[in-house]
Structure 1
């Protein structure tokens, strides 16, 4: 049975939305604000942050703060820690990590891939460690990571993006198993394609209408992910069959539990 406790009581009064200035990040902000949580919106550009903040405070009556920050900066996590030190933070949404160049790995300068690794892997890992420790210590909280079905395998023109999403999926599945005994929910959202400003910009360059792609509305993805927040470790929106061990929500959950038992038996301290 789903937990019907209001989110501010279940997790805390505040939600941090990393990448919350538009698209799916803004949709998550609307979803949690509608559930009574105050929001700290973080992204690089201040103007769209201010637009979303005004909408949330006017529509839902919650307190909204903004922070202009490049999540790819080496000190991004320390700045988030400082910004959230004095609030009752209970939910963090990580919605950053798009890569729309479609470049071949060896045809692009490595500096591009270094930046992607900093944002998609190093920032995410450090942030999950920091906020995971914080929530574990207080005995409640939730972490949502926006991933992609690109995590299920690689392909030409997607080497670094698919690799980084696969890393994030495996990390978050493990954290779900490690943090759930401490009252912390971890959920990774996977989907094929979402109707975001980034997607529309790419499609516009190619003259492709968004309607032709089957892209899912970001409001739908945010709503259904939040509803499934307690049923981690992943929510694959485009799950086609519950019998596919690669893409099935339930089968992947069972595998994580089985692997966790096996690793505990191997590494765990004898009692």
Structure 2
């Protein structure tokens, strides 16, 4: 059986991409439609979404839906759920929540940090809860969280970003352990730098060429994450570039999650099957 056919069998006919207008989100859409799945693309800039959707329809013949939704808003997940209620949805890609300000914590208004927290914590939590429940009931699905190597530790001028990405990584790893027995795959993609429009804009402010930072191709990032999705719980795209480290090793983190999960189940007892 071809890889694309196996992918369709595992994840159904439709994929929801949150943050799917350009950069990595757009390359997720391109790769997914080439595998024979339809896409629902969500972002704030509807004209950019519609241009990408037109290209994808012409290139692949797949169905594409678009909607302008600001995922920092309190009703974002309700709107997302309504948008995909009538389709055979089997995969959700959470790709919103970048921060390229480089600001110190006190160097920006609290409202800016609160927006990032809403996108990277509140909406991620709400979205994972809704779609995990849906996929568990259908006994099939995948949840792909676009994270960052920033999740591995904090640093000056990246306080809220590193904190929220750490939250997403730990939540994703925990859900991988909980949802795998129900046929639901969970993967968090971590990488150092991706060649995105957001990155290029940030570098341009200081006249730094993108070649100087060793940014990974978003085409390669999307393909690697989709291929690794059944394995979980974390893919460190740049793992081979550094010395072995249990903090950043996908295999070591997987073993840690399994060890912690087994210990907690012994401590708390088996979960109620009706609520698992």
C-alpha separation between the residues in 2 aligned to 1:118 and 1:195?
Answer: 25
Q: Trace 1:203-222 onto structure 2 (pairs within 5 A).
A: 203-222=203-222
Q: Which runs of 5 or more structure 1 residues have no equivalent in the other structure?
A: none
1:66 aligns with 66
2:24 aligns with 24
User: Does 1:267 pair with 2:268?
Assistant: yes
Aligned-residue CA RMSD in angstroms?
Answer: 1.6
SS of 1:6's equivalent in the other structure is: helix
2:111 aligns with 111
2:127 aligns with 127
C-alpha separation between the residues in 1 aligned to 2:223 and 2:11?
Answer: 17
Which of 236-245 and 174-183 deviates more?
A: 236-245
TM-score for the superposition, normalised by structure 2 = 0.95
CA deviations on 1:120-145 (whole Å, 9 max, x unpaired) are: 11000000000011001100000101
Q: Is the 8 A contact 2:139 2:184 kept in 1?
A: yes
Q: Trace 1:32-181 onto structure 2 (pairs within 5 A).
A: 32-181=32-181
Which of 105-114 and 195-204 deviates more?
A: 105-114
Q: Trace 1:233-248 onto structure 2 (pairs within 5 A).
A: 233-240=233-240, 243-248=244-249
SS of 1:100's equivalent in the other structure is: coil
Using a 3 Å threshold, how does the CA distance of structure 1 residues 270 and 54 change in structure 2: closer, same or farther? closer
Aligned length: 270
Which of 103-112 and 170-179 deviates more?
A: 103-112
1:194 aligns with 194
2:257 aligns with 256
TM-score for the superposition, normalised by structure 1 = 0.96
C-alpha separation between the residues in 2 aligned to 1:270 and 1:127?
Answer: 23
Q: Is the 8 A contact 1:149 1:191 kept in 2?
A: yes
SS of 1:206's equivalent in the other structure is: coil
C-alpha separation between the residues in 1 aligned to 2:148 and 2:65?
Answer: 28
C-alpha separation between the residues in 2 aligned to 1:194 and 1:25?
Answer: 12
Q: Which runs of 5 or more structure 2 residues have no equivalent in the other structure?
A: none
Q: Is the 8 A contact 2:11 2:91 kept in 1?
A: yes
CA deviations on 1:200-232 (whole Å, 9 max, x unpaired) are: 111111111111110011000000111111110
Deviation of 1:55 after TM superposition, in Å, equals: 1.2
Deviation of 1:242 after TM superposition, in Å, equals: 7.8
CA deviations on 1:24-69 (whole Å, 9 max, x unpaired) are: 0001011111110000000000111011101111111100010111
SS of 1:170's equivalent in the other structure is: helix
SS of 2:193's equivalent in the other structure is: coil
